[in-house]
Amino acid sequence: MTGLRLGTLEVPTPVVLAPMAGITNAAYRRLCAEHGAGLYVCEMITSRGLVEGDETTKRMLVFDELETVRSVQLYGTDPTYVGQATKILCEEYGVAHVDLNFGCPVPKVTRKGGGGALPWKRNLLGRILEEAVAAAAPYDVPVTMKTRKGLDDDHLTYLDAGRIAQESGVAAIALHGRTVAQAYSGQADWDAIADLVAHVDIPVLGNGDIWEAADAVRMVEQTGAAGVVVGRGCLGRPWLFRDLAAAFADGGPGETTLPNLGEVRAMMRRHAELLCEHMGEERGCKEFRKHVTWYLKGFRAGGELRRSLGLVDSLAALDDLLAVLDPDEPFPASELGAPRGRQGAPRHKVVLPEGWLDDTDGLGEDGCGLLEDVSETTGG
């Protein structure tokens, strides 16, 4: 299979790392990129935060020195803020790709009409996309969007969203085959991805339930998607991008080369080292703690060792603890194809602004759209 083309941007392997808050920082993107080619997207920032110079937002816009293609996901509900933020990303940060988030299912986001709730307002969605595309055009930067099937099974939006994206000049659309109500529960609907592929002429990227390289190849074959977006499947498994690159290069899943615990141990050390380089040792080690459970999932490492690793505060302490792990222990085959990260249960009701479902416009009488809340100044 060939690479992925987004406007004038060419990605050698049709694989995109999904932005994940607190995960896909510069260190993790570098780690994944060391294993295979793809498009590695910075964790989501807010448009208002960027426009107003919020310090937390700016701290998130850090790129590794070897990150030649800078990609950022932007959140916003106000067309003006989104357009201004897109221009700042292109002009001041040298970003080569901007992705707009219309798929987040978190209640604190949807209750303000953002994330996965916003595509219900078709006209507002179109205005936001148009502003972003217009702002990025002078810099020849492609704009993409990510969305879900809809609010729930009774309020599907993905086909309309695809049409609007195409009409707005968006370079590609990524579809997570779940509704907002599903969050991360249940099974992703790959048939919906295939439906969207048939519905639009722009590239469609498939997202949902890609746990192994074979899943990615199968998704592309089943749906006709131009590529895949990988999120939870790579938690504690940066080498998945090596398998993905090999699978797409060979035109098939091929053989997965599973790392033993010694190799995983080396990856853990490299991850912590990169975090410390970017954040300083104290904060870097604290950030690393959350990854321990994912790296060791299925391995025999004892509870006391896991607890100690979860409290690590220096690279020296990490080295001492990692030395206890049996380097020859094979990768636990039981973990292959198993879900990783959060799953949870479906929500009985999506939290939305009052009267949100009353119309599909969203622009209001003044035509300005949904004003971003003053609290939306912090990235992540």
Residues annotated catalytic, as ranges: 104
DSSP codes of every residue in 179-235: -TTTTT-S---HHHHHHHHHH-SS-EEEES---SHHHHHHHHHHH--SEEEESGGGT
- Sequence length of the chain is 380
The 10 Å CB-count burial string (b at 16+, else e) for 177-186 is bbbbbbbbeb
SS3 111: coil
Beta bridge partners of 148: 176
- Dihedral through CA 98, CA 103, CA 107, CA 112, nearest 10? 60
C-alpha to C-alpha distance for 171 and 323, rounded to whole angstroms: 47
C-alpha to C-alpha distance for 328 and 260, rounded to whole angstroms: 6
Helix axes 281-289, 261-279, angle to 10 degrees: 140
**Tokens found for residue 60:** 């998130």
Phi, psi of 10 (to 5 degrees): -110, 125
Using alpha carbons, select from 224, 226, 204, 228 the residue that is nearest to residue 214: 228
Instruction: Based on DSSP, count helices (H) and strands (E) in the chain, helices before strands.
Output: 15, 10
Burial of 329 (0-12, 13-18, 19+ CB in 10 A): middle
Cβ(172)–Cβ(6) under 8 Å?
Answer: yes
Strands, E, within the chain: which ranges?
4-6, 9-11, 15-17, 39-46, 71-75, 97-102, 143-148, 172-176, 204-207, 227-230
Cβ(247)–Cβ(7) under 8 Å?
Answer: no
C-alpha to C-alpha distance for 281 and 102, rounded to whole angstroms: 35
